[in-house]
Structure 1
Amino acid sequence: LGTALDELLRFDSPVGIATFRYTTEPLTLGGTDIPSGVPVLIAPGAANRDPAHFPDPDQLDLDRTAKDHLAFGHGIHRCLGAPVARAEAEIALDILLTRCGRLRLAVPAEDLQWRRTRLMRGLESLPVVF
């Protein structure tokens, strides 16, 4: 279940864009020169789809080892609540899968409504039937 959870977090990160950061020195990234002291946006969701790091990144593969995803950030900017969020998700998924084996969407997937926010990504609701 842990491997599948990491892949789900990599595949559809709850945080698409992190808060602003500022460059501390000039650098070149992807052929673009970025001067020191300018604001930059970090996109962990996009990094989680980097084909140089995750082969076939647009394919959801629940057997993939994706422990190094950036869904919770990285380094000093890693979410302090990441271990709790991960544990909660793993417990919830375990209960749903073991107690509600026939769980399925109550509506077509294309009818699901996503929240429209800059930082956090998630569904407005998740209607299911057992």
Structure 2
Amino acid sequence: MSNNKLCPCGSENEMDKCCLPFILEGNAPTAEKLMRSRYTAYTIGDAEYLYNTTHVSQRKYANKSDILAWSKQNTWVKLEIIHVAENTVEFKAFYFDQLGKPQEHHEKSTFIKFQEHWYYVDGKFY
């Protein structure tokens, strides 16, 4: 998989030099980069990465086919990072739903680092 277009995460970097390496390797070095790469994974329909970067304690609530369906039924527009701390990232993801209506997903996500890997744990939705 190679892609030299701008990364969907909003970094203004090419995808090959931004989120794609984290997606291919299955690991991101910070909570923010994990959050950005997870957004990018939604835009390209990589349910495997999304599932694998969800903390094991939360995977029982995740289903790869549901993740894939939700990622593909929406048209992802942009990601806006609002606030970053060591293990939390507040963001807004803008997209058009399957009916073509504009939507905004506003969340403060919590992440945990376990055995040198960052994982998504949960989020507070606004």
Larger radius of gyration: 1
Relative to total residues, which structure has the larger helix share, 1 or 2? Answer: 2
Q: TM-score, normalised by structure 1?
A: 0.29
Higher relative contact order (CA 8 A, sep 6+): 1
Relative to total residues, which structure has the larger strand share, 1 or 2? Answer: 2
Q: TM-score, normalised by structure 2?
A: 0.29
